[in-house]
Chains A and B, each alone.
Chain A
Amino acid sequence: MADDRDRDEVAVAEFHKKIKEAFEVFDHESNNTVDVREVGTIIRSLGCCPSEGELHDLIAEVEEEEPTGYIRFEKFLPVMTEVLLERRYRPIPEDILLRAFEVLDPDKRGFLSKDELIKYMTEEGEPFSLEEMEEMLSAAIDPESNSINYKDYITMMVIDEN
């Protein structure tokens, strides 16, 4: 129906503006390109949570034939619009995140030790870099017990984002 189509067009137009805003913030030279290393940050800032593997694929889609290290807005916009329209890479709900921690804590102690956290994050899944690990530790680890009370941690992070 005409109304639906109008609404869709409006939605797409709004997505375009949102994507443009997010892109421009990282377009340091104001020439409609961003460093490819910042594309992941831009995509995530728009509310999507692709895995590293999925991110890799996305970047391949928006890169030039001969990669220049820069991503142009003209290539980024249509791909990102599709991602938003299809609601791909939805973020992890809080309860799933909690359960993930609980899986790593089978004895149900309510916490993970610093070493355990480091081990899982740097050896399993899509491992953290040293920098990512240090960053997470600085906010997550209680220096007195040298462990992370994951329930409190999650609550704190969620409050911070809202």
Chain B
Amino acid sequence: MNIHNLEDMGCGTSSVTKDKKSEKALKAALVIQNWYRGYSARLKTRQRYALTIFQSIEYADEQGQLQLSNFFSFMLENYTRVQEKEPGLVTRLFGSNIQDKDRQDYLGLIDVPDSYCGPRLQFPLTFTDIDLLIEAFKQQQILHAYYVLEVLFETKKVLQQMPNFTHTNTSPSKEITICGDLHGKLDDLFLIFYKNGLPSATNPYVFNGDFVDRGKNSMEILMILFVSFLVYPNDLHLNRGNHEDFMMNMRYGFTKEILHKYKLHGKKILQILEEVYTWLPVGTIIDNEVLVIHGGISESTDLTLLHRIERNKMRSVLMPPIPMDADYAERKNKLGTTIVAQGIRTSGSFSEQLTKQEWEQIIDILWSDPRGKRGCYPNTNRGGGCYFGPDITSKILNKYQLKMLVRSHECKPEGYEICHDGKVITVFSASNYYEEGSNRGAYIRMSSGMTPRFFQYQITKATCFRPLYQRVNAIESSAIRMLKERMISRKTDLIRAFQLQDRNKSGKLSMGQWAFSVENVLGLNLPWRSLSSHLVTTDKDGNIDYMSGFQDVHIQKPVKEVQSTLIETVYRYRSDLQIIFNIIDSDHSGLISMEEFRSMWKLFKSHYSVHIDDSQFDELAERMDLNKDGSIDFNEFLKAFYVVHKFDKLNKSDSKLE
């Protein structure tokens, strides 16, 4: 049917004219509908692409952690050699005062001034304290460090009594609500409580990990959850997520939030928090039928073993147990020094760390993702845990006579997703996780024998009710920005790859050649062909001008004379360096000595196989020592390496959408 032909076909009687008229109207309507559906589909696709970009980059970052983890292991294993060459560095890196932190030592020294007008908690806590906190946080008040520490100590005390898996039961009159990742998004928690009621003996909840990091109210969420837990320890269940990990917090924002909100006592809070995390239960089992854990399972998941291990020895995903042998213990004793990482003491006791098998069991629980492909294989995207298929789910569920697995860990556009034939549910409770408009959040209500019910929501700023295409534009440009920053951080490698394919040095490549190079160098599996129009310019023959991708973005050079490869490298490893610096800086002053800075860089360089002249780095460090007092403010150092988007200033002044 040729719907483009709208010409009148001649005259006729009035009824024929009427028919002609309605036929024309019909055709016109078809044209508009057809066009609109095409437009709408392209809009949805752009939204999906943006999400794919966000997710790819997020997972690639997590994978980068594996390298960092190896770096730490390398340092621990080669402790003696490292100690000889760079005395004090490793102890600084891993030593910590693991004396049993006495409550009085901390609380006794802190005063809550009369001038403090934030919420004051009363121990023992009751439901009025929950209300108090919620009201206070709605008004953006900050809970005083004294109360934070009190809550943390109490929480640790109660958690220590709890087994690795919480067992709980429902009934037709007592449904349980399961929430997924919140990641510091306080508004989402408020919305859930508003829609679903506050936790109580008749309204039990499971919070399935990842309460913190990324969002800006991780502390407030943690306080509400912990206080609610202390008031209703048998009805509010907390599972540990992969972000309940002090090292993850260093990279993903919670540490920063704490040090910013609690300038005086932040360090103490961080120390206690580290321990509280380790006492969080690994999972919850409902009605002996439903297993609720943060990540997933692997083919070797052994619930019996997981029930009996000492879960508090799992400090961080970045600190796997180091292989211990007789040699090692001897070498250590010779030096007469102590590594206190993993709590190993001079007596050379191996009992302070988990076995490799135990550690991996927990990592699998916290990091794995379900996939459609059968079998179980390493989760290369994230660098930890595995991908498990429907056959693995069936096997493990059957082995322990369970019916369903509820997990979180992955952002889903609709807030939840069912897979593996209805046996695995993913629930994610942080709406707009990547960007305003990126996804909905959800929670589940269930009770034994009934089909689970799903509730979805999405936080929207009241003034900001924008039509779909504007929201898609926003997340699309945000995703493309991130992608461009990735590209600029690998500029040298990319150019090399492009030039290898560009035999006649024309500056141009075919679409296929460009996509191949980009995917190889960046290691991101993305729809490059569809994205190319946002990243590079294409000529009329369909060939890509590959240098155009770097035109409107560049990394700000903190110091002019330094080579671009060094700049790119530091930019690329910003997050890892951040973590390492934070660890070295054990008193959280923000400063480390030039010597430590240099030594650390040398080790980092050799482990990450970064080929940069030491002198280059020295020169850079010299120039960054702005006070010339032998110390480096590393936050300033890292901040100096940021990406400038050429059109940023223009966009800001031009913006009608903000």
Contacts and interface: CB of A to CB of B under 8 A. Distances in A.
Q: Please indicate whether A and B come from the same complex rather than being unrelated chains.
A: yes
B372 A33 contact: yes
Contact of B45 (A41, A104, A120): A41
Contact of B29 (A28, A104, A135): A104
A21 B45 contact: no
Contacts of B32: 97, 100-101, 104, 120-121, 125
B49 interface: yes
A120 B64 CA distance: 54
Contacts of B30: 51, 124-126
A1 interface: no
A25 B52 contact: yes
Most buried by A among B24, B35, B417, B515: B35
Interface string A145-162: 000000000000100110
A48 B41 CA distance: 10
A135 B38 CA distance: 13
B527 A125 contact: no
- Majority SS at the chain A contact face: helix
Interface string A78-92: 000000000000011
Given A14-B512, A18-B529, A18-B530, A49 B38 contact: yes
Contacts of B36: 128, 132, 136
A22 interface: yes
B52 A103 contact: no
Given A44-B41, A44-B42, A97 B35 contact: yes
A125 B6 CA distance: 14
Given A25-B49, A125-B29, A160-B473, A49 B34 contact: yes
Interface string A109-131: 00000000000110011111000
A29 interface: yes
Interface in B25-49: 25-42, 44-45, 48-49
A26 interface: yes
Nearest to A150: B32
Nearest to B39: A157
Contact of A24 (B34, B37, B512, B527): B527
B6 A100 contact: yes
B125 interface: no
Contacts of B38: 44, 48-49, 91-92
A2 interface: no
Q: Which of A14, A45, A132 has the largest number of chain B CB atoms within 10 A?
A: A45
Given A28-B417, A44-B37, A49-B38, A138 B467 contact: yes
Most A Cβ at <10 Å: residue of B29, B45, B417: B29
Given A44-B38, A51-B34, A96-B6, 18 more contacts: A14-B529, A17-B515, A22-B527, A22-B530, A29-B419, A31-B372, A40-B37, A40-B41, A41-B45, A49-B38, A52-B37, A100-B28, A101-B28, A103-B24, A104-B29, A124-B25, A139-B469, A157-B469
Interface of A: 10, 13-14, 17-18, 21-22, 24-26, 28-31, 33, 40-45, 48-49, 51-52, 91-92, 96-97, 99-101, 103-104, 120-121, 124-128, 132, 135-136, 138-139, 157, 160-161
